Chains A and B, each alone.
Chain A
Amino acid sequence: MLPGDLKASDFDRYPPKARQLAAKHIDLLRRMPLAFLPLLLREVIAYDWKFPVEQTELDKQFAWLAAMPASDFEKAMGPFAQLRLSAKLEHVDWINSPGEFSEQLTAHLWATRQIDAFRAASIAYIHNLNAANPEQPPTTPRLGIAVIGYGVDQNKYPLFRKLRPHGVYFHNVDPENGLATLLNHVAERAREHPVPFGHWYIDGSENQAMRGDGVTKMCYAALGSVRNALIDKMRRVMQPGGGGPEVLRTMLAELRPEDLGLNGEGNAAVLNRFQVSVLTEGSGTQLFSTTFVQWSAREALRRAQPATLLLRFTPRLHEQSMRELLAGTPQTPMPDPHGSLVDADMGAYYTWINQQRLTGAERAAFLVWFEGHNEALAIGPLLPRGTDNPNPVNLRQILAQMG
Chain B
Amino acid sequence: MVVTFGGGARDEETFMPEGQENIPNLLNQLIPQATFFTQVVNRGILGHYVATASLATGVYETFNNFAAVPPDNPTVFEYFRKDLKRPATDAWVVAPSNGFNRIGESGNRAYGQGLGAGVILPKRLLAAALSSAGESQYEHLLRDNYETPLYTPQVSGSEIELHQMAEILKLSVADFTAHARSLASPDELSVYIAKQLMRQLAPSLLWITLHDIDIAHSGTYSLYIEGIQRCDRLCAEIWNTIQSNPEYANKTTMFILPDFGRDSDTDAGGNGFQHHRTGDALSRTTWMMVLGPSVRHNVVVDRALESTDLVPTLGALLGFSPKLAQGKPVAEVL
Binding site for B on A (CB under 8 A): 107, 110-113, 115-116, 119, 161, 231, 234-235, 238, 240, 245, 248, 282-288, 290-291, 294-295, 298, 316, 319-323, 325-328, 336, 338-340, 342-343, 345-347, 349-350, 353, 357
Task: Verify B148–A291 contact, CB threshold 8 A.
Answer: no
CB < 8 Å: which of A113, A115, A316, A338 contacts B220?
A316
**B279: contacting residue among A115, A286, A291, CB under 8 A:** A115
Distance, CA A339 to CA B226, complexed state (A)? 10
CB-CB under 8 A from A319, the residues of chain B are 215, 220, 223
Assess whether A328 is in contact with B147, with CB atoms less than 8 Å apart.
no
Residues from chain A with Cβ under 8 Å of B137 in the complex: 325-326, 328
B residues 256-307 near A (Cβ < 8 Å) are 265-266, 268-269, 271-275, 278-279
Q: How far is the CB of B332 from chain A (nearest CB, A)?
A: 27
Contacts of B43 in A (CB 8 A): 113
Q: Known: A240-B154, A342-B222, A353-B265. Contact between A322 and B217, CB under 8 A?
A: no
Question: Measured between alpha carbons, how far is A347 from B272 in the docked complex, in Å?
Answer: 10
- Residue pair A343, B140 in contact (C-beta under 8 Å): no
Q: In the A-B complex, list the 10 residue pairs whose CB atoms are closest, starting with the nearest.
A: A291-B219, A284-B218, A342-B222, A339-B222, A346-B221, A284-B219, A111-B62, A321-B184, A110-B45, A234-B150
Nearest-neighbour CB distance to chain B for A121, whole angstroms, equals 13
Give the distance in Å from the alpha carbon of A301 to the alpha carbon of B265 in the complex: 16
A123 to chain B, nearest CB (A): 9
Type the 1/0 row for B65-82, where 1 means its CB is closer than 8 Å to any CB of A.
010000000000000000
- Distance (whole angstroms) from the CB of A256 to the closest CB of chain B: 20
* A161 to B19 CA separation, bound complex (whole angstroms): 12
Q: Which residue of B lies closest to A290 (CB)?
A: B220
Contacts of A161 in B (CB 8 A): 18
Q: Return A336 CB to nearest CB of chain B, in Å.
A: 8
The interface on chain B, measured as residues whose beta carbon lies within 8 A of the other chain's beta carbons, has a size of 51
Q: Which residues of A contact B18 (CB under 8 A)?
A: 161
B185/A350 in contact, CB under 8 A: no
Evaluate contact between A357 and B215: CB separation under 8 angstroms. Answer: no
CB distance from A133 to the nearest CB of B (A): 17
Min CB gap A384→B, angstroms: 22
Which of B3-11, B28-36, B175-183, B323-331 lies on the face that meets chain A?
B175-183
Question: Smallest Cβ distance from A275 to chain B, in angstroms?
Answer: 17
Q: List 15 A-B contacts (CB under 8 A).
A: A110-B46, A115-B279, A238-B150, A238-B151, A238-B152, A245-B151, A248-B151, A283-B218, A284-B217, A288-B219, A288-B220, A316-B220, A319-B223, A322-B183, A325-B137
**For the complex, what is the distance from the CA of A286 to the CA of B220, rounded to whole Å?**
12
Residue in B130, B152, B189, B220 whose beta carbon sits within 8 Å of that of A284 in the complex? B220
Residue of A nearest to B187 (CB): A322
User: Is the pair A322, B188 in contact by a Cβ cutoff of 8 Å?
Assistant: yes
B225 within 8 A of A: yes
- A321-B275 contact given A290-B219, A326-B180, CB 8 Å threshold: no
B228–chain A nearest beta-carbon distance, Å:
13
- On chain A, the residues within 8 Å of B218 by CB distance are 283-284, 287-288, 291
B24 CB, nearest partner CB in chain A, Å: 17
**Does any Cβ of A come within 8 Å of B248's Cβ?**
no
A-B contacts counted at CB < 8 A amount to 117
Q: How far is the CA of A328 from the CA of B46 in the complex (A)?
A: 37
Quick one: closest B residue to A298, CB to CB? B271
A321 CB contact (under 8 Å) in B66, B185, B274: B185
Residue picked from A283, A319, A323, most chain B C-beta under 10 Å: A283
Please state if B186 and A322 are interface contacts (CB–CB under 8 Å).
yes
Q: How far is the CA of A268 from the CA of B304 in the complex (A)?
A: 52
Name the residue on B nearest A316 (C-beta). B220
Interface residues of B in 80-100 (CB under 8 A from A): none
- Tell me the bound Cα distance from A39 to B237 in angstroms: 48
Tell me the smallest distance from the CB of A89 to a CB of chain B, in Å.
Answer: 15
User: Quick one: CB contact mask for B210-232 with A, threshold 8 Å, 1 for yes?
Assistant: 00000101111111010000000
B174 an interface residue at 8 Å Cβ cutoff? no
Q: How distant is the Cα of A245 from the Cα of B65 in the complex, in angstroms?
A: 11
Indicate whether B111 reaches chain A with its CB closer than 8 angstroms: no
**Would A357 and B268 count as touching, CB distance under 8 A?**
yes
Please indicate the chain A residues that have their CB under 8 angstroms from the CB of B130 in the complex. 326
Interface centre among A240, A319, A322, A328 (most CB of B within 10 A): A322
In the complex the two chains form, is A284's CB within 8 Å of B149's CB?
Answer: yes
Closest CB in chain B relative to A68 CB, distance in Å: 24
- B303 vs chain A, min Cβ distance (A): 21
Tell me how far the C-beta of A349 lies from the nearest C-beta in chain B, rounded to whole angstroms: 8
